[in-house]
A = this chain, B = another copy of it.
Amino acid sequence: MQLGMIGLGRMGGNIVRRLMQHGHTGVVYDRNPQAVQALAADGAAGVDGLAAMVAKLDKPRAIWVMLPAGAITEGTIRALADLMDKGDVIIDGGNTFWKDDVRRSRELAAKGIDYVDVGTSGGVWGLERGYCMMIGGKKETVDRLDPIFKALAPGLGDVPRTPGREGRDPRAEEGYIHAGPVGAGHFVKMVHNGIEYGLMQAYAEGFDILKSANLEERPEDERFTFDMADISEVWRRGSVITSWLLDLTASALAEDAGLEDYSGYVEDSGEGRWTIQAAIEQAVPAEVLSAALYTRFRSRHEHTYAEKILSAMRKGFGGHVEPKKAEQ
């Protein structure tokens, strides 16, 4: 099957490569000509703009947009919509906010252009492991694109089958689902990332407690200096908390258990925030997912105004004057 791909970054490029490995054809564009050339060298047909891409593709066309969410994706899709025809489909595989999908789909429907949103997990490992995909869109459109999704998905692999799934949609076991109408794909991916934040923070807090267990105030035989690399490794086998995130942690700690190369500054992205927004809209308590997000916010400051307010109150009622310097 033929697919146009716009945006040849870490994700987009490898998606095309994996598709071509499975016998599909890629027509590719990126505003960076070198990215286009690199893919062309791997067998894709490179083009130099949106119009060229639309011209190059057979009808009904399918174009996958893999760009930073927000204005860039929005602008590209609008430009595409002006060039494409009734019956064509635009696939947004980026990290778009699900309500934007719903709005866009309404707008494109007026022109007869279909829209499919694909939440894609897999990061830099996708080329090798396959991409886990959560897809939103009309049934017939998603079905028509099935060869693409099937090729990108990890497949059954050596992951043990879940008992009791007989009679259920076989695509889930292969690593992709048709989650629902437009927006459903990015909604599920959003929650996926919200959960990811929570899982990461659970491990992070645990390792922090281990790290600080050599507490000076304690009697000598109640103080421990743990080997973080070995602990993360041992939990990978037979424990209740084995996971891929733990595998990654064990790798990082094997390299440098002190993690001295990391500043502790942690970014967050849209999905983590939107998950909390959805929780609040839906009145779902989401303590853990929120706390995980707030930790990242806090990590990017030396001190907060909130903390100064606390100190000011403490001085007010108790005459306490806080020390000027942090512990570490």
Contacts and interface: CB of A to CB of B under 8 A. Distances in A.
A55 interface: no
By secondary structure, the A interface counts as helix
A10 interface: yes
Interface residues of A, number: 165
A34 B239 CA distance: 29
Copies per assembly: 4
Given A123-B317, A310-B266, A208 B305 contact: yes
A122 B237 CA distance: 9
A162 B209 contact: no
Contact of A308 (B121, B197, B259): B259
B250 A162 contact: yes
Nearest to A231: B188
Contacts of A179: 224, 226-227, 230-231
Interface string A250-263: 11111100010011
B286 A251 contact: no
A248 interface: yes
Given A233-B165, A254-B165, A205 B267 contact: no
18 contacts: A165-B229, A165-B254, A168-B233, A168-B254, A177-B230, A183-B224, A194-B205, A194-B206, A198-B202, A201-B310, A205-B284, A205-B288, A207-B305, A243-B244, A248-B312, A263-B322, A264-B311, A295-B307
